[in-house]
Amino acid sequence: MRAPLLLALLALPAFAQSSAPSAAPPPAPPAVKLGEKGFVLESADGDFRLRFSGLIQADGRFFVGGGEGAVANTLLLRRVRPIVDGTVFGLYDFRFMPDFGGGRAQIQDAYVDAHPSKALRVRAGRYKAPFGLEFLQSDAFLPFSERALPTNLVPGRDVGLQLHGEAQAGVLSYAVGVFNGAPDGGNLEGDDEDGKDAVARVFAHPLRPLGVPALQNLGVGLAASYGRTGGAANLPQYRTAGQQVFFRYRAAAAGGVPGAVAQGERVRLSPQAYWYVGPLGLLSEYVRSSQEVAVGDGAAVRLTHSAWNATGSLVVYGGSAGYEGVKVRAPFRPSLGEWGALEVALRYSALDVDADAFPLFADPAASARAARAAALALNGYLNAFTRVSLHLERTTFDGGAAAGADRPAEQLVLGRLQLNF
């Protein structure tokens, strides 16, 4: 009797220990990643995420022949952008992107994006207005070092509030928002007027549900904007790829001579499309921008400018084309027989100024009536981060010089070394 009782007493501690609840495992440490998407810190459940990345573009800009004007050949840092992206509680994304390019410090993007679902997102802050197809493409992924002439007519970065989202795995996407109202080709940080601009864009990949690989990245879209201005003097200037101004409105002069001001409705419309299949990429858009303009106490006149471009690119070796940039199959490692990727691109673009802009609202001896630009680009991708580019472009003008003559053609040679990580 004593032996069984003694054994039972000895077994009690072990039984108590085995029946006690086990301690909760320690939380998993945050994941640390370094790769093509930059430096990433992420919580184990993915609800909190912080990503550090950046873009550096070092350019050599040279003009050949007689079109130099007041612009000198130069070496410059076109863009220097440290980028911070993050997610909080799995629901709120944010981005902060300053730019130190050109020797200036400015904030390009600073916004918060709440996304309860893929079909409904709410964005507030400063970012690209949802309008131009080429302008919405990342600066790091453009086949050319500078954008085409139609970007002169689209709204740039602005402060606003927008709803956006996508449905059916990107078959349809939309964006609609209210913004301060950036001028054509301009960026806006603040606003000294009560009026605001409404901007809307829809973009679709209508043949994606068919499952045909060649049609997966065929996209078409339409963008529009509407706003009113009440005498703003921030009328746009239109620039070439070499950043030379070829059209500007008359400014106020000494002696009380009034300049042109935006006075009334501003309306824009842009049909747009692209198609990417394997190594081939095609992109085109048309932009029509109208603005009521006045000088002094005169009646406002509606001026309508238009522009279009057609761009074709071909990855001749080592990768595939896409709106989000060339996907490089293997980095440049000659010792292993790997040569990165090579892309060639051709582009033609045109911009026409409303004939009624002359001579009251613009000086025909200083501003061109039209511009036409043909461009060629060669891009060598050393890896997913590094790219070397050569951009050649010739722009001709109608008018823009004294005595009704044409402004001299601009012949641009632009080289670039880019690091995007």
Q: How far apart are CA 291 and CA 6, in angstroms?
A: 100
Phi-psi region of 331 (alpha: psi -120 to 50; beta: other; left: phi over 0): beta
Q: Which of the residue ranges 33-37, 152-156, 276-280, 356-360 would you say has the lowest mean pLDDT?
A: 33-37
Structure tokens at 199: 């901007």
Structure tokens at 354: 């409303």
Average pLDDT of the residues of the chain: 91
Q: How far apart are CA 259 and CA 136, in angstroms?
A: 32
Q: Is the pLDDT of residue 67 over 60?
A: no
Structure tokens at 195: 């009026």
Find out whether 145 and 391 touch, Cβ atoms under 8 Å: yes
Q: Is the pLDDT of residue 103 over 90?
A: no
Find out whether 215 and 207 touch, Cβ atoms under 8 Å: yes
In the prediction, which pLDDT does 29 show? 73
Query: What phi and psi, each to the nearest 5 degrees, are found at residue 339?
Result: -125, 20
Q: Which of the residue ranges 6-15, 89-98, 189-198, 235-244 would you say has the lowest mean pLDDT?
A: 6-15
Could you tell me the pLDDT band of residue 66, with boundaries at 50, 70 and 90?
low
Q: How far apart are CA 280 and CA 262, in angstroms?
A: 42
Instruction: Express each pLDDT in 334-377 by its tens digit.
Output: 999 999 999 999 999 999 999 999 999 999 999 999 999 999 99
**Of residues 103, 78, 65, the one with CA closest to residue 413:** 65
Quick one: average pLDDT of 212-227? Answer: 97
Find out whether 151 and 139 touch, Cβ atoms under 8 Å: no
In the prediction, which pLDDT does 378 show? 99
Q: How far apart are CA 55 and CA 145, in angstroms?
A: 13
Q: How far apart are CA 123 and CA 114, in angstroms?
A: 6
Query: What phi and psi, each to the nearest 5 degrees, are found at residue 90?
Result: 65, 10
Instruction: Express each pLDDT in 283-293 by its tens digit.
Output: 999 999 999 99
Could you tell me the pLDDT band of residue 22, with boundaries at 50, 70 and 90?
low
**Of residues 149, 152, 65, 135, the one with CA closest to residue 373:** 149
Q: What DSSP string describes 192-244?
A: SSS--EEEEEEEE-TTGGG--GGGTEEEEEEEEEEEEEEEE----EEE-TT--
Quick one: average pLDDT of 210-234? Answer: 93
In the prediction, which pLDDT does 70 show? 58
Give the 3-state secondary structure of residue 1.
Answer: coil
Q: Is the pLDDT of residue 296 over 90?
A: no
In the chain, pLDDT over 70 holds for what percent of residues? 92
Quick one: average pLDDT of 222-230? Answer: 95
Structure tokens at 56: 């550096």
**Of residues 222, 269, 247, the one with CA closest to residue 354:** 247
In the prediction, which pLDDT does 190 show? 78
Quick one: average pLDDT of 313-328? Answer: 97
In the prediction, which pLDDT does 23 show? 63
State the residue for tokens 């896409």.
322
**Of residues 379, 314, 344, the one with CA closest to residue 140:** 379
In the prediction, which pLDDT does 261 show? 92
In the prediction, which pLDDT does 192 show? 74
Quick one: average pLDDT of 128-155? Answer: 98
Q: Is the pLDDT of residue 39 over 80?
A: yes
Partnered with residue 293 across adjacent β-strands are 262, 301
Q: Is the pLDDT of residue 12 over 80?
A: no
Q: Is the pLDDT of residue 86 over 60?
A: yes
In the prediction, which pLDDT does 7 show? 46
In the chain, pLDDT over 90 holds for what percent of residues? 79
Give the pairing type, strands 410-420 and 332-333.
Answer: unpaired
Q: Model pTM?
A: 0.90
In the prediction, which pLDDT does 68 show? 44
Quick one: average pLDDT of 241-270? Answer: 91
Q: Please, what are the domains in the chain? A: 28-420 (2.40.160.10)
Quick one: average pLDDT of 112-139? Answer: 97
Query: What phi and psi, each to the nearest 5 degrees, are found at residue 11?
Result: -80, -15
In the prediction, which pLDDT does 376 show? 99
Q: What DSSP string describes 361-392?
A: TS-TTTSEEEEEEEEEEEEEESSSSEEEEEEE
